[in-house]
Amino acid sequence: MREYLEGQLKIVWPELRVVARAANGIEALSMIDTEAPDVAFLDIRMPGLTGLDVAARLTSGARPPHIVFVTAYDQYAVEAFEHSAVDYLLKPASLERLEKTVAKLKTRLARPAEAVPAAALQALLAQLSSAAPAPAAAPLRWIRASHGDETRLIPIEDVIYFQSNDKYTSVFVAEGESLIRTPISKLREQLDEQQFWQIHRSVIVAARHVAGTRQDFRGRLMVQLKGRPEQLVVSRNYVDLFRGM
């Protein structure tokens, strides 16, 4: 996701210079302290320290960077963001939405005298923290699924993709299809988002099984799987994940 966001930023803000990339909240704090960037893009759900934790600590500095929160959970997209000194992006951020964020950042950077008051940022963080979910559990490692009259224990690394199927979710592995009752929306919260990509509101695919993409005769983007005949439709909300493929 960091590489994807950086690639999108190069398109909409080519003069931007990325000075550091952090894998977790602790690294982010250290790098921000060292590099003193003008802007920091913080994932809300980072390991170690969350994006909210990092932002809260930055408010104690003399000149905190302009902050953009990145999140997969739209409950964070509260109205306060629209009028605050920070912005937010929902993953995967479209170029159109990113352009709006960049325009807002450029306006603020052009008026450095109007730096973000720490009290205003702290007030927003307090509002966001009150709505924040509990820290994410460890990614799912096994799936207990029904296969005919059997119950199978499927290692998560064997899963090719998940697909909503009426009241059930289908789990596709090399040996066939099994069923679980967990809805896609709940399943997404338990999966490693670096390894499993949601490409449609009803489909999550294992990244390692993606061979490429193509457009069908209707202009839809289709995901091609390694060693499998079926192709999966990518909805317009997730097309940006495959830019450049």
Dump the DSSP string for 125-169: HHHHHHHPPPPPPPPP-EEEEEETTEEEEEEGGG--EEEEETTEE
Q: Report pLDDT for 80.
A: 45
Residue spans of beta strands (DSSP E) within the chain: 39-43, 66-71, 87-90, 142-147, 150-155, 161-165, 168-173, 176-180, 196-200, 203-206, 210-215, 221-225, 231-234
Q: Report pLDDT for 159.
A: 96
Q: Report pLDDT for 113.
A: 55
Give percent of the chain with pLDDT exceeding 70. 80
Please give the Cα distance from 2 to 59 (Å, whole number): 24
Task: Look up the pTM and report it.
Answer: 0.52
Name the percent of the chain in helix, strand, coil, to the closest 5.
35, 25, 35
- Say how far residue 178 (Cα) sits from the centre of its chain: 27
Residue (of 14, 72, 63, 78) closest to 43 by Cα position: 72
Please give the Cα distance from 64 to 67 (Å, whole number): 8
Please give the Cα distance from 155 to 133 (Å, whole number): 27
Q: Report pLDDT for 83.
A: 45
Q: Report pLDDT for 93.
A: 80
Residues with pLDDT less than 70, the chain: 61-62, 73-86, 112-138, 243-245
Residue-averaged pLDDT of the chain: 83
User: Domains in the chain, ordered, with CATH?
Assistant: 2-131 (3.40.50.2300), 142-242 (2.40.50.1020)
Q: Report pLDDT for 64.
A: 81
